[in-house]
Amino acid sequence: MGLEEKLPSGFILGKVEDLVGWVRSSSMWPVTMGLACCAIEMMAAGTPRFDIARWGMEVFRASPRQADLMIVAGRVSQKMAPVLRTVYDQMADPKWVISMGVCASSGGMFNNYAIVQGVDHVLPVDIYLPGCPPRPEMLIHSILELHNQVIKGAPLGVNREETIRKVEEAALNAPPTHEMKGLLA
């Protein structure tokens, strides 16, 4: 017999991580981080037609201290990379990153010295969103996927820090993309 049967009706049991995850998923605020053409689609997601206000996310925060989600929308130049990292470090914990578009995720068509070949060389990424540019519906889908990840009991406290440390370590140890030959090797 479980504990549930001994309790009066109206009680719900659950893990603290699940409950906290549900609360967090309902209160994400994105920081302003539009870097190139993908940002136009990101801005469109905030308009009444697509309406991310349904999740309370339509106001992109100008201060990292009021934000816990960074949507990297567009290519990341070498000059912008340290700025991106500084803003990320200043954001409230726990925080999440969506890499929006092929440029942010892998450098895209800009396989050159000026562009970081994947923002995961600079930040730990939670969701990669493909496309050039991804439509606002795709961004909304990736936001909902992120909500699901957070609801499913993302690790808390030191466990979350450990997860992020491993992700960052893996990204730093990954071979540079110019060494990846894929199917052409």
46 contacts ligand SF4 (rule: CB under 6 A): no
Q: Select the residue interacting with ligand SF4 from 17, 20, 22, 37 (CB under 6 A).
A: 37
Q: Select the residue interacting with ligand SF4 from 57, 67, 80, 102 (CB under 6 A).
A: 102
Q: How far is CA 25 from CA 12, 20, 36, 181, in A?
A: 20, 9, 27, 38
38 contacts ligand SF4 (rule: CB under 6 A): yes
Query: Per CB under 6 A, which region of 30-38, 50-58, 83-91, 163-171 contacts ligand SF4?
Result: 30-38
Structure tokens at 168: 């960052």
Looking at the DSSP assignment, which residues form a beta bridge with residue 99?
72, 128
Residue holding tokens 């130049």?
Answer: 77
Q: What is the DSSP letter of 135?
A: P
How far apart CA 15 and CA 7 sit, in angstroms, is 17
75 contacts ligand SF4 (rule: CB under 6 A): yes
Q: 138 with 99: CB under 8 angstroms?
A: no
30 contacts ligand SF4 (rule: CB under 6 A): no
Query: Per CB under 6 A, which region of 33-41, 79-87, 155-163, 166-174 contacts ligand SF4?
Result: 33-41
Q: 134 with 38: CB under 8 angstroms?
A: yes
Nearer to ligand SF4, 43 or 156 (CB): 43
Name the residues that contact ligand SF4, by CB under 6 A: 36-38, 74-75, 101-103, 108, 132-133
